[in-house]
Amino acid sequence: MLELVTLSKRYGEVIALDGLSMTVGAGRIHGFVGRNGAGKTTTMRITLGLARADAGEVRWQGRPVSPEDRRGFGYMPEERGLYPRMTALRQIVYFARLSGMEAGEARAAALAILESMGIAERSGEPVERLSLGNQQRCQLAAALVTSPQLLVLDEPFSGLDPVGVDNLAGVLQAQVDRGTAVVFSSHQLDLVERLSDEVTIIDRGRVVASGPVGEVRRSRGADQLKVALEGGGTAWADDLADATVVARFGDEVVLELRPGGDDQAVLDAARRAGRVRSFHRAAPSLTELFREVVSA
């Protein structure tokens, strides 16, 4: 289990982290969300020992993290992180050896991970000659080759097509299934919501929400109703006693229940206005939650 305890970090006048705390459990996928400059990358770098916190502590398995622990972590920086002119196989062996594996062991592990990523037959080519998708696979292979207990990924999904997203999601799930703690940052909130067990939202170096995705979604504000009529417009929802309008998309309206409001009364009002095509009650999505908490 990774614990970040009240991390603070300043760069000159800029406060990058302001007492940030979060926990990533073994066998969990933890989504890490925030606007650009919120402190995601700084947090990851401090976790890996690439930057040091001015105050606070990084703990691993219940004690302060050691350089040996960190050597065993898998890390994928936001961009590349590979030698462009070195072949995929040689550099993955190299990173494995720097992590402390013996030569034979490192080679076997590298071949196995490249095989499982489906790029074994390209492993003799310089990385710069691989397609972007294969470069990303190679990068991931470099992070996974030591079978790390903690995997830290900075924006791993950026630039991937939907098939690539699914592949990467599958790889992460496999890691989690063998007990790895995975933390990844992303701007794609729907993706974070879909893939993560837990989520931490940060803003200006502070945690604004953190916990299991469902809990975080329910923690903020009331449940929402999504109601769509067939060609009935959305004007019917303007002056309801039980709910207020949050957003409109064509004939669909998103409503937030007032305290003590009755969803059935809203449904009745909708049916009076026209034919109800869909009616859906749910906690706010992560996207909505994110908009709300970071713009506050």
Partner 1 sequence: MNKFDAVRLVAAREIGERIRSKAFKISAGVSLAFILTVAILPGVIGDGGPTTYDVGVFGARSDALEARLSEVAAFADDVAVDVHRLASEDEGRRLVASGDLDAAVGDGRVVVDRVLSDHLGLIVREANRQVTGEAALAGAGVEGAAAARLLAPEPLAVQALEPRSETETTREGLVFVGTLLLYGQLIGFGYWVASGVVEEKASRVVEVLLAKAPPNQLLAGKVIGVGVVGVAQLVGLVVIGLVAAAATGSIDLPPETVPVAAQVVAWFLLGFALYSCLYAVAGAIASRAEELQSTTTPLTFLAVGSFFAAITTGGDPGGPVGQVATFVPFSAPMVLPIRVAAGEIEPWEVAAGVAIVVASILAAMRLAARVYAGGAMHLRGQMKVRQALRAEETSRTGA
The footprint of partner 1 (CB under 8 A) covers 10-11, 45, 48-58, 67, 70-71, 73, 75, 77-86, 90, 94-95, 97-100, 142
Which 3 state secondary structure label does DSSP give 116?
Answer: helix
CB of 254 to partner 1, least distance (A): 40
Q: CB neighbours of 172 closer than 8 A, spacing ≥ 6? A: 29, 151, 182, 184, 195
* Alpha carbon distance 191, 127 (integer Å): 28
Closer CB to partner 1, 91 or 224, in the complex: 91
Closer CB to partner 1, 8 or 219, in the complex: 8
Q: Max Cα separation, the chain?
A: 74
What's the distance, Cα to Cα, between the start and end of the chain in Å? 31
Closer CB to partner 1, 100 or 118, in the complex: 100
Closer CB to partner 1, 87 or 200, in the complex: 87
Q: CB neighbours of 173 closer than 8 A, spacing ≥ 6? A: 29
Closer CB to partner 1, 142 or 253, in the complex: 142
CB of 232 to partner 1, least distance (A): 52
* Alpha carbon distance 138, 119 (integer Å): 8
Contact 152, 117 (CB under 8 A): no
* Alpha carbon distance 175, 195 (integer Å): 13
Closer CB to partner 1, 98 or 241, in the complex: 98
Q: How far is CA 159 from the centre of its chain?
A: 15
Matching residue, tokens 């496999």: 174
CB of 28 to partner 1, least distance (A): 21
Closer CB to partner 1, 36 or 295, in the complex: 36
CB of 285 to partner 1, least distance (A): 32
Could you give the angle at the alpha carbon of 83 between the alpha carbons of 36 and 171, nearest 5°? 65
Exposed / middle / buried, residue 199 (Cβ in 10 Å: 0-12, 13-18, 19+): buried
Q: How far is CA 288 from the centre of its chain?
A: 16
CB of 163 to partner 1, least distance (A): 25
CB of 86 to partner 1, least distance (A): 6
* Alpha carbon distance 296, 283 (integer Å): 19
CB of 49 to partner 1, least distance (A): 6
